[in-house]
Every structure is written in C-alpha cells, then in structure tokens.
Amino acid sequence: MSIQLFMPTFRIDECLEQIRECLEKGWTGLGFKTVEFEEKWKEYTGLKNAHFLNSATVGLSLAFKILKMQNSWDDEAEVITTPLTFVSTNHAILYEGLKPVFADVDEFLCLDPKDVEAKITAKTKAILFVGIGGNTGRYLEIVELCKKYNLALVLDAAHMAGTRLNGKVPGSEADAVVYSFQAVKNLPTADSGMICFKEKDNDELCRKLTWLGINKDTYARSNDKGAYKWKYDVEYVGYKYHGNSIMAGIGLVQLKYLDQDNAYRKQLAKWYDDGFRGNTHIKPVVMAPGCDSSRHLYVIEVAKRDELLLALNESEIYPGVHYRDNTEYRMYEYAKGTCPISHSISERIISLPMHLRMQKADVDRVVEHVIRFTSM
C-alpha cells in the first residue's frame, strides 16, 4: 500500500449539505457563503478583516498591489523575502513591478532576522515572511525590524491555518496576512484563500479590485426579496479574484474541524520525532519557541537526499521537497549565491508523508525505511 505525501480529508456529507444549500438557493458565486466564511474566519483568528479569494497567490499579489498603491512605492522598491518557499510567493512581488531581495533562513527554515537587517536599504519597502510548514520562526523579531525601519510586513501564512504563537494566532502585527485553502492544505477546499488586511481601507479597496474594480458586488446589490440594483460605478481596473460560495461552503465545514485535525498532525509529528530520536544521520526541523504549529509539513535534513527520495519511491513511499532554492530559477538567478544556508538546506531537506489518513503503522514504516537508507 503506497503512502502519499498529502491526501486531504473531507467530511463529505457535511460538505455536500453546504453545496446543496448553495444550489437550492441558486447562489453559488460571490456572497452568501463567502460572507459567512469571512465572518467565521475573523472569529477564529481574531483578525479584524478577512476577504475570501480564489487562491492565496492572488492574495499575495493583491497585498503588494494595494500596499504599493496606498504608499506610492515606485518600481525601484524592494521587498525582502525568502528563497525557500513555493515560487508563487516571490512571483507575487514581480507581478506588482517590485524587486525581490533574498535573505537567508535559520534553523526553522524561516527568514533569519540578522541577514534581513543586513539587506535593508533605502529602497526596501516591505518584508515578506513565510511561515513554512506552519513554523513561526523568528517572526516577532521580523515584526520589530519592520517597526525599526518603518517597513510594511506581509505574512505568507499559506501553511499556517491553525498555527498559534504564544497562544495567539499570529498576524495582527502584519499589514496583510494571506492564507491558502488549496486542495492539500490543512484546511482544504478545491482551491481558495483568504487575505486579512490590518487596515479597513485596504480591505475595502481589495474587495473592489477582486471584483473588476466595481464598487458594489452583486450580493450587496441584491435585497432579500430578490430585487437587483444594476447601477454601480467602476473605480479601478480590477480583476476576477474573489472566491465563490461552493468553496466557502466546503471551507466552513473544514474550519469546524481544523484544530482537531491539526491535533492529529501534531501526533503524527510526535511519532516521527520519537522514531528519529537519537539518530545522528537524521535532523528533523524543529519548531520555534512558543510555536504551536499547524504541522503542515514534517521536514528532515539528511545527506544524499535525492538518493533517499528514490529509495523511498521504490518502496511506494512518496515524500516531497519544500522547497528548491528559488535563486536556482532563471528569473531569480540574479540573487544566486546570496543565501548560502538556504541553498545548502534546499539540497538536504525532504518532507515526509503527513496527512490525516495516516496511522502509526504508516509512520513507523516511513521511519524504518528512512533509517535503513540513511544508515548505509
């Protein structure tokens, strides 16, 4: 029996009930369930604003677009970011005509504040922090750097649904927080995301930009008797980035079980930790102090990583790599060599299978094969 890296779990009957309600009401698009999900997400996180989107990638793009617009940044503006992330993180900076400047990572695989500070220049306008695998790293030190140098802060929380830092959902300190509810995330839908701005004005602008620049969405222009107000203004050249009620309905179900599901992920991580304890050939990535992680990933650092991947595949165990050093990609190769720790780590890390359908026997099997290979 194969063991996959990710395999999402859905409460199928409850999800179908949500979808049925949308179909029966005849409202599957923006509004209705998207509004409900936004309110539930604000209640869950304690963040002031939340806007449901069709992906986290567009959320990151919108974060930089709006911050650039509101703060009058020019195209020479720089954003300090990590090379150890999915490429969409850094593409979002390029989308808005800004320049990614790469800083190195620490033992948590998150931005190293010392290297970040060394790379701040007069052109630096923002820092993009990625909570890889649900880890908070030295996030609060990055917050202090933003205060010290008057920089905007964007938190890429794609892996952080359910993560807490010192008992609190991180992000209220950031100008924008972006979550992913893509198919294999801890709160999976088919694909969607959420953007949470600190400032209400930015949230309101975001809502216009996600609906083609129109100043009133369709749901807001319909009353409970079905009357439809067709007249509106188009204030911006916007996009079609908002989420829909089908995805929001699934999200509402998944949110109910998020903490419960994450608790099981933590149990899986503990079984991995126990299995690898004392092994000098395997170095699990640790969680930062005060971090109650979502445990989206379980990452280890090993020698001969690529050979281990092949060996596990031959045993029908299918891990992954999170991530390749982005400066290896041609559009970012101008920064090659600027983050040696990230580069070295990216050639040694492997993400082991981590999902709710796994049992202890599955973890034991993975551990056994990893130890057998790395001990050769």
Dump the DSSP string for 7-22: -----HHHHHHHHHHH
Nearest to 145 by CA among 80, 207, 63: 80
pLDDT of residue 216: 72
Residue 113 and residue 227: Cα distance in Å, rounded?
54
Domain with residue 229: its CATH number is 3.40.640.10
Domain shared by 125 and 43, yes or no: yes
Kindly state whether residues 35 and 153 are assigned to the same domain.
Answer: yes
User: What's the confidence (pLDDT) of residue 222?
Assistant: 56
User: Do 296 and 269 share a structural domain?
Assistant: yes
3-state secondary structure of 15: helix
Looking at the fold, whether 222 and 288 belong to one and the same domain comes out as no
166 and 209 housed in the same domain: yes
**Ramachandran sector of residue 153 (left: φ over 0; alpha: ψ -120 to 50; beta: rest):** beta
Cα–Cα distance for residue pair 269/265, rounded to 1 Å? 6
Per-residue tokens: 54: 């069709």
Q: Indicate whether 368 and 225 sit together in one domain.
A: no
Residue 240, beta-bridge partner list: 211
Q: Are residues 138 and 251 in the same domain?
A: yes
- State the distance between the two ends of the chain, measured CA to CA, in whole angstroms: 25
318 in the same domain as 215: no
- The pLDDT tens digits along the chain (376 residues) read 999 999 999 999 999 999 999 999 999 999 999 999 999 999 999 999 999 999 999 999 999 999 999 999 999 999 999 999 999 999 999 999 999 999 999 999 999 999 999 999 999 999 999 999 999 999 999 999 999 999 999 999 999 999 999 999 999 999 999 999 999 999 999 999 999 999 999 999 999 999 999 987 655 545 555 555 667 889 999 999 999 999 999 999 999 999 999 999 999 999 999 999 999 999 999 999 999 999 999 999 999 999 999 999 999 999 999 999 999 999 999 999 999 999 999 999 999 999 999 999 999 999 999 999 999 8
Single residue among 206, 229, 256 that ends a domain in this structure: 256
Instruction: Answer whether 132's CB lies under 8 Å from 159's CB.
Output: yes
Q: DSSP letter at 338?
A: S
- Residue 218 belongs to domain spanning: 3-256
Integer Cα distance of 187 and 206 in angstroms: 23
pLDDT at 296: 98
- The one-character DSSP state at 111 is B
The answer, as to whether pTM is greater than 0.75, is: yes
**Which pLDDT value is given to residue 215?**
84
Residues with Cβ within 8 Å of 317's Cβ and at least 6 positions away in sequence, in order, are 2, 3, 353, 365, 366, 369
Count Cβ atoms within 10 A of the Cβ of residue 114 and give its class: 0-12 exposed, 13-18 middle, 19 or more buried: middle
- Secondary structure class of 299 (helix, strand, coil): strand
Task: Provide the pLDDT for residue 225.
Answer: 53
The answer to whether residues 233 and 306 belong to one domain is no
What pLDDT shows up at residue 220? 58
| Domain end position, chosen among 226, 256, 286 | 256
Given 256, 282, 304, the domain boundary residue is 256
> What is the residue-wise DSSP string for 210-240?
TBTTBSS-TTTTB-TT--B-----B-S---B
* φ, ψ dihedrals at 319, nearest 5°: -80, -170
Question: What token pair was written down for 152?
Answer: 């905007």
- Judgement on whether residues 239 and 274 belong to the same structural domain of the protein: no
Range list of H helices, 96-180: 113-118, 139-149
Strand order in the sheet with 51-53: 51-53, 193-197, 176-180, 152-156, 124-130, 78-81, 99-102
CATH of the domain at 344: 3.90.1150.10
Answer left, alpha or beta for residue 232, where phi above 0 means left and psi between -120 and 50 means alpha: beta
The total number of structural domains that make up the chain: 2
Q: Which two tokens stand for residue 90?
A: 């850094």
CA 103 to CA 83: how far, in whole Å? 7
Indicate if 217 and 109 belong to the same structural domain. Answer: yes
Query: Residues 86, 235: one domain?
Result: yes
